[in-house]
Amino acid sequence: MDEEEQNKLIDLVKELVHRLLSQSPQSQQNPQNPNFENSFRYALRILSSRLTPSIAPDAAAIAESVKRRLATQGKSSDALSFADLFAKFSSKTGPGSVNNKWAVIYLLKIISEDRKSAKNVVNSSTLLPNLGVHELESKNDSRVLNGKEDKQLGWRQNGVLLVNKDPENLRDVAFREFVNLVKEENEVSEEVLVRDVLYCCQGIDGKYVKFNTMVDGYCLSDLVKVPRATRVMVRKLCELGWLFWKVRGYISESMDRFPAEDVGTVGQAFCAALQDELLEYYKLLAVLEAQAMNPIPLVSESAGSGNYLSLRRLSVWFAEPMVKMRLMAVLVDKCRVLRGGAMAGAIHLHAQHGDLLVHEFMKRLLRRVCSPLFEMVRSWVLEGELEDIFAEFFVVGHPVKAESLWRDGYRLHSGMLPSFISQSLAQRILRTGKSINFLRVCCDDRGWADAATEAATAAGTSTRRGSLGYGETDALETLVIEAAKRIDKHLLDVIYKRYKFREHCLAIKRYLLLGQGDFVQYLMDIVGPELSEPANTISSFKLAGLLESAIRSSNAQYDDPDILDRLRVKLMPHGTGDRGWDVFSLEYDARVPLDTLFTESVMARYLKIFNFLWKLRRVEHALIGAWKAMKPNCITSNSFTKLQHAVKLQLLSTLRRCQVLWDEMNHFVTNLQYYIMFEVLEVSWSNFSNEMEAAKDLDDLLAAHEKYLHSIFEKSLLGERSQSLFKSLFVLFDLILRFRSHADRLYEGIRELQARTMESSLSSRDKKKSLRQTNDMHTKPGSWLSDGRKALTQRAGEFLRNMEQELDATANEYTSLLEGFLAQLPVQQHVDLKFLLFRLDFTEFYTRLRPSV
Amino acid sequence: MDPEAARTARESLDLAFHMSNILDTGLDRHTLSVLIALCDLGVNPEALAAVVKELQREPSPSPPMSTAPSSIP
C-alpha cells in the first residue's frame, strides 16, 4: 500500500467517522469535539486489527444467502427486488464500477444483521456496549471454521447460514441439523464414532457401530465411509464391548439360574466380584461419556476442536479396562461348567501372573471368590460343620452308621480341591473336621469346643466368620495345624481315658489271644468234654456258663467287670460231622466308639487268630493229657516181669516208641507255642504299645493297630503267603491229636493187661478176691478173663503188635509231615520264622536227618 | 474520469443504496459511497461493518476508548 493510497484511506475513514457521528443526534451540535478523535482512533484500530475477511470472496453466494433470509422472513418482494438489484449490480463491469462487489454486498449484509440483532438484544443490555463486538468475533471464529469446511465439502451456502444464531430462526436450526445429518451420511465425524464406541462398550448398539453376528463382534457398518485405520481402531475398541457383553451375560445367566439350579456360593461370590468390577467399569464409562459431551478446549488453539475424546484417547483410556475385561471373559469361559472348589482352583491358576496389575486384580477377585470356601474350611475345622448345600467343598460327607463314620463318613473330593490348598493340608483339614464329628457323634463328647477355641486363639484368628481370605494360606495352615493338634489330642484323650482303648486291647490280647494262661487252661479243662460232642448238640448257653465259671475260677475274675461283660462265646456256623472244637470261639464285643477301631473285619481277623491259637492250645493240652497217661509207666515195667520175655520186649519197645514220638511232638508244639507267645504276640504288643504312645491322631492309632494285627497275622502263618505252610501245620496238629487217641488206647490196653497179669498172679493165692474181680470183669465185653494165661499172652502180643504198627505209621507220617513243614519254613519271608526254625532244629537233629537239604 | 465511468459508478452506487435500503442498514448515500470506496481499497468488510456498528451506537455517554481494548482480542 503506497503513501497515496494510505492517505486516501485515512481521509476516507475520517470522512466515514464524521458521517457516522454526525448521524447521531447528540454529537451533531459539536462535530469537532474530542469524541471525534477518539472515535476515529477506535475506527482505525478496528480496521487495522482485521486485515483479511473470514469468508471466501464469493458475491453470488452471499447474495443468495441474503435473498433466502429475506424470503424466510416473509419479505418475498424484497427478496425479489434484492435479487434483481444484485443482478444489475454484478453486471456493472468496466471502469467506474465497484471492484470489490462481494465486499460491498457482504458489508451490507453484516450491517443489516448487526442492526437487527442490536434492536433485538443490545437494547436490553446497554451496560455491555461491546457485547456486539464480542459476539461478532466469536461468530467470525466459527465462520472461519465453517468456511474452511465448506470449501472442502462444496457446500457454499452453509458457511453463511451457520453463522446465524438468531433464536427466532427455527428454520435455521432445523436446516443446520439437516446439514449435520447429510454430513454424517457421507462421512462420520470422530465425535460420533466415539459416542458409538462408548455405547458399544456398554453392550448397546450404536448408530453406526453395531453388533455383527457374522463376525461375532461389534464393527462399523460398511455403508459408512471412514478411513481403514479408523475402522480397525473402532473394531479394536469395541472388543471391550464384546467382552463386557460376555461377562454380563454370564452374570445375569447365573443369577437367573440361581433359585432353580444350584450355582453355589462360590459361583455367587464370583458373580458378585465380577459385578463389582463391572461397577468400576461403569464408572469409567460414565466419566468418559461426560467428557465426550463436555468438549474441553485444549491449550493450543489450532487443535481446539470440540471433540475432546478422540478414538486414540479412548484407546488409551480403555487399555487397562481391556486387560481386566479380557481376564474376566477368560475366567467366565473357564468357569462356565465349574463349581465350588474347582472354580476357585481354576481362577487361582490365572492368578500366577507376572503383571502386577493382573496379579492385583486376580487377588482381589480371588479374595471374594474364595471367601465362602475359606468360611467352609473354618467352620469345618473349628466346628465340624459341613455347611455345603451346593456340594462345593472338597470334603464330602456320606450318611453312614456310627461305626463307619471315621472310615467312610467323609471323603476328600479331589475335583473340588483348589490347587492352592496342598494335598497334605487337605488331608489334615479333613481329619480335623472328622475328629470333631467323631467326637460328637460317636463319643458323645463336648470337650472339643474348648479345644477348638483354644486352637483358634493360638492361631491368632478369632472364631468369627470371614477372618480368613485368599492369599493367607499360611494363616489357614496355622489355624488348621493348631486345631488339628488340639482336637486330635483331645480325641485320643477321650479314646484312651474315657473309652479305655488300651485296656480293651489288653483284654483282647489276654482272652482272645489266650494271653491269660490260667484262664485258658481252666477253660480248656472244663469245656473240653463238651466240645468233643458233635457240633449240633452243643448248647451255647451251657458254654457261656462254662466260660463264666472259667473266669470266676481264674485270675480273670479280678478284671474290670465291664471288660468281662464283653467277653462272649460264639459258635460259628457248622457243617455235618463238625465237632465242638471246630465251631467254638470267643468273641469280644467292642461297643461304640471303639467299634471304629475294632471293626467287623478286624474282629474277624482276631477270630481267625483265636481259632489258630485255640487249636494250638488244644494240641498242647492233648499232649499234656497223653503225658499224664504215660507217667506211671515205671510201675508197669515192674508188673510185667511175669510175662513172657518176647511179649515183654515187645511191650517195652512199643512203650519206648510211644515215648519218643510223644517227645518229638512235644518238642515241636512247645517250641511253636513259645514262638507264637513270645516272638509273635508279645513283640507285636510291645511295638503296638509304643506306637500307641506316639500316635498323634486317630489315623495313626488305626494304622498302629492295623500294623499290630497284621504282624500277628503274618507271623502266625495265617497270611495269604503262608497258606500251604499253615495247612501242613494243621495236618500236623490233626496227626498229633490222632496220636493222642492212639496213645490213650495203648495205655488203656496196657493197664488192662497189667490188671490181668496181676489178677492171674494173684489168683493162685487169693481165689476169692480174684473171683470177685472176675465177676467184675465179666461185665465188660471182649475181656480176656475167660482165656487162659497163654491166650492172654497171645492177645497181649497181638495188641502190642497192632499198636506198634499204628505207632510206626503215625511216626512215619509225622516225620514226613514235619520234614515238609521244616522244608517250607525257610521259604517264608518273615525274619521271625527263622527263629522258629532255629528253635525247632536247635540241635541240628533234623538237618542231619536230611543231609540233602 | 470519463462520463461513461462516472455513470457506471453512480448507477452502481444507486443499486448499492437500494440494496442497502432493502436490507435496512440505515446508511445514507454518502456514507455508503465512502464505504464502497473503502471496500475498493481492499479494507476488510467485516472490519468496516464493525466500525459502522460501533460508531452508530456512539450516542451512549461512555467513551469508546475505555472499552475498546477489552473488546479486541
pLDDT digits (tens, 9 = 90+) for A491-515: 888 888 888 888 888 888 888 888 8
Q: How far apart are CA A820 and CA A823, in angstroms?
A: 5
Residues of B whose CB is below 8 A from A51: 44, 47
| Dihedral class, residue B24 (left if φ above 0, else alpha if ψ from -120 to 50, else beta) | left
Task: Return the bridge partners of A219, or none.
Answer: A210
Nearest chain B residue to A73 by CA distance is: B23
More confident residue, A609 or A759: A609
Give DSSP secondary structure letters for A666-687.
Answer: HHHHHHHHHIIIIIIIIHHHHH
**Is residue B53 situated within a structural domain?**
yes
Contacts of residue A544, defined as CB under 8 A and 6 or more positions apart, other chains included, come to A568, A569
B58–A24 CB contact, under 8 Å = yes
Cell numbers representing residue A716 in the block: 502266625
- Among A476, A498, A520, the domain boundary falls at A498
Position A708 pLDDT exceeds 50: yes
Query: Burial letters for A197-220: b for 16+ Cβ neighbours within 10 Å, e otherwise?
Result: bbbbbbbeebebbbbbeeeebbbb
Indicate the residue of B39, B67, B70 with minimum beta-carbon distance to A107.
B39
What percent of chain A has a predicted confidence (pLDDT) above 90? 2
A779 reaches B (C-beta below 8 A): no
Residues A160 and A196 reside in one and the same domain: no
Q: How far is CA A90 from the centre of its chain?
A: 92
| Mean pLDDT confidence for A47-72 | 76
Whether A156 contacts A58, CB under 8 Å: yes
B27–A111 CB contact, under 8 Å = yes
Residue A127's pLDDT is 39
| Mean pLDDT confidence for A401-413 | 82
Indicate the residue of B6, B41, B45 with minimum beta-carbon distance to A53.
B45
Residues A129 and A220 reside in one and the same domain: no
Instruction: Give the DSSP H/E element, type plus range, for residue A411.
Output: strand A410-412
Whether A583 contacts A540, CB under 8 Å: no
| Mean pLDDT confidence for A462-484 | 71
Residues A165 and A254 reside in one and the same domain: no
- Among A460, A476, A498, the domain boundary falls at A498
**Tens of pLDDT along A551-594?**
888 888 888 888 888 888 888 887 777 788 888 888 888 777 78
What is the C-alpha end-to-end distance of chain B, expressed in Å?
42
Whether A62 contacts B23, CB under 8 Å: no
A114–B62 CB contact, under 8 Å = no
A92–B19 CB contact, under 8 Å = no
Cell numbers representing residue A698 in the block: 486317630
More confident residue, A143 or A454: A454
What percent of chain A has a predicted confidence (pLDDT) above 70? 80
**Is residue B21 situated within a structural domain?**
yes
A104–B45 CB contact, under 8 Å = yes
Indicate the residue of B39, B46, B58 with minimum beta-carbon distance to A104.
B39
- The closest alpha carbon to A202, from A321, A282, A268, belongs to A282
Calculate the average pLDDT of chain A.
77
SS3 content of chain B, % helix, strand, coil (to 5): 70, 0, 30
Residues A647 and A782 reside in one and the same domain: yes
**Is residue B47 situated within a structural domain?**
yes
Using 50, 70 and 90 to split pLDDT, how confident is the model at A301? very low
**Is residue A116 situated within a structural domain?**
yes
3-class secondary structure, A569 = strand
Using 50, 70 and 90 to split pLDDT, how confident is the model at A164? very low
Residues A324 and A423 reside in one and the same domain: no
Whether A512 contacts A610, CB under 8 Å: yes
Residues A95 and A174 reside in one and the same domain: yes
Residue A642's pLDDT is 60
Nearest chain B residue to A43 by CA distance is: B51
B63–A15 CB contact, under 8 Å = no
Residue A688's pLDDT is 92
Indicate the residue of A42, A85, A97 with minimum beta-carbon distance to B8.
A97
Give the Å distances, CA to CA, from A675 to A55, A327, A616, A619.
Answer: 124, 70, 12, 15
A42–B1 CB contact, under 8 Å = no
Question: Domain range spanning residue B36?
Answer: 3-57
**Is residue B69 situated within a structural domain?**
no
A85–B64 CB contact, under 8 Å = no
Position A730 pLDDT exceeds 70: yes
| Mean pLDDT confidence for A788-797 | 73
Nearest chain B residue to A55 by CA distance is: B46
Nearest chain B residue to A143 by CA distance is: B46
Calculate how close chain B gets to A76, using CA atoms only, in Å: 11
B57–A52 CB contact, under 8 Å = no
Residues A223 and A165 reside in one and the same domain: no
Cell numbers representing residue A694 in the block: 506316639
Residue A131's pLDDT is 38
Q: Which range in A379-393, A425-439, A454-468 is most confidently predicted, on average pLDDT?
A: A425-439
| Mean pLDDT confidence for A29-45 | 71
**Is residue A568 situated within a structural domain?**
no
Q: How far apart are CA A427 and CA A424, in angstroms?
A: 5
A85 reaches B (C-beta below 8 A): yes
**Is residue B71 situated within a structural domain?**
no
Question: Domain range spanning residue A122?
Answer: 52-185
**Is residue B44 situated within a structural domain?**
yes
Cα diameter, chain A: 204
**Is residue A117 situated within a structural domain?**
yes
B44–A12 CB contact, under 8 Å = no
Cα diameter, chain B: 48
**Is residue A9 situated within a structural domain?**
no
Q: Which range in A383-392, A400-409, A661-670, B46-55 is most confidently predicted, on average pLDDT?
A: A661-670
Residue A704's pLDDT is 92
B55–A17 CB contact, under 8 Å = yes
| Mean pLDDT confidence for A416-436 | 86
Residues of B whose CB is below 8 A from A17: 51, 55
Residue A33's pLDDT is 62
| Mean pLDDT confidence for A704-724 | 85
Residue A721's pLDDT is 77
Calculate how close chain B gets to A153, using CA atoms only, in Å: 24
B58–A39 CB contact, under 8 Å = yes
Q: How far apart are CA A5 and CA A22, in angstroms?
A: 25
| Mean pLDDT confidence for A51-75 | 76
- The closest alpha carbon to A370, from A489, A502, A269, A462, belongs to A269
Q: How far apart are CA A198 and CA A467, in angstroms?
A: 40
3-class secondary structure, A567 = strand
- The closest alpha carbon to A530, from A583, A575, A484, belongs to A583
| Mean pLDDT confidence for A783-806 | 72
Residues of A whose CB is below 8 A from B9: 96-98
**Is residue A165 situated within a structural domain?**
yes
| Mean pLDDT confidence for A303-314 | 66
- Helices within A121-238 (DSSP H only): 131-153, 158-163, 170-186, 190-200, 228-237
Cell numbers representing residue A612 in the block: 489258630
| Mean pLDDT confidence for A436-451 | 81
Residues of A whose CB is below 8 A from B12: 89, 92, 96-98
Whether A593 contacts A438, CB under 8 Å: yes
3-state SS, A761-807, equals HHHCCCHHHHHHHHHHHHCCCCCCCCCCHHHHHHHHHHHHHHHHHHH
- The closest alpha carbon to A108, from B11, B18, B54, B59, belongs to B18
Mutate to test the interface with B, among A40, A111, A137, A142 (most CBs of B within 10 A): A111
Position A53 pLDDT exceeds 80: no
Cβ neighbours of A738 (radius 10 Å):
15
Contact map slice: A 131-170 vs B, CB within 8 A: 132-134, 136-137, 140
Calculate how close chain B gets to A137, using CA atoms only, in Å: 9
Residues A200 and A171 reside in one and the same domain: no
Residue A769's pLDDT is 44
Q: In chain B, how many domains are there?
A: 1
Calculate how close chain A gets to B68, using CA atoms only, in Å: 7
Residue B49's pLDDT is 82
- Among A467, A498, A529, the domain boundary falls at A498
Position A686 pLDDT exceeds 90: yes
**Tens of pLDDT along A589-606?**
877 778 888 888 888 888
Position A30 pLDDT exceeds 60: no
Indicate the residue of B8, B35, B62 with minimum beta-carbon distance to A16.
B35
**Is residue A558 situated within a structural domain?**
no
Residues A332 and A372 reside in one and the same domain: no
Residue A157's pLDDT is 42
3-class secondary structure, A28 = coil
Calculate how close chain A gets to B66, using CA atoms only, in Å: 10
Residues A699 and A757 reside in one and the same domain: yes
**Is residue A741 situated within a structural domain?**
yes
Position A540 pLDDT exceeds 50: yes
Whether A479 contacts A409, CB under 8 Å: no
Of A164-173, A415-424, A702-711, the one with minimum mean pLDDT is A164-173
Residues of A whose CB is below 8 A from B17: none
Residues A152 and A247 reside in one and the same domain: no
Position A19 pLDDT exceeds 70: yes
Indicate the residue of A43, A86, A105 with minimum beta-carbon distance to B51.
A43
| Mean pLDDT confidence for A820-840 | 78
Cell numbers representing residue A541 in the block: 448257653
Position A653 pLDDT exceeds 50: yes
Residues of B whose CB is below 8 A from A130: 67-68, 70-71
More confident residue, A206 or A95: A206
Q: Which residue has the cell 494360606?
A: A473
Residue A151's pLDDT is 40
Of A174-178, A323-327, A469-473, the one with minimum mean pLDDT is A469-473
Give DSSP secondary structure letters for A253-307.
Answer: HHHHHTTTS---HHHHHHHHHHHHHHHHHHHHHHHHHHHHHSPPP-SSSTT--S-
A121 reaches B (C-beta below 8 A): no
**Is residue B31 situated within a structural domain?**
yes
Residues of A whose CB is below 8 A from B15: 85, 88-89, 92
**Is residue A634 situated within a structural domain?**
yes
**Is residue B70 situated within a structural domain?**
no
| Mean pLDDT confidence for A143-162 | 42
Residues A181 and A194 reside in one and the same domain: no
3-class secondary structure, A82 = helix
Mutate to test the interface with B, among A46, A66, A122, A143 (most CBs of B within 10 A): A46
- The closest alpha carbon to A166, from A121, A110, A231, belongs to A121
pTM: 0.61
Cell numbers representing residue A182 in the block: 447429510
Q: In chain A, how many domains are there?
A: 4
Angle at the Cα of A289 (from A285 to A293), degrees rounded to 5? 175
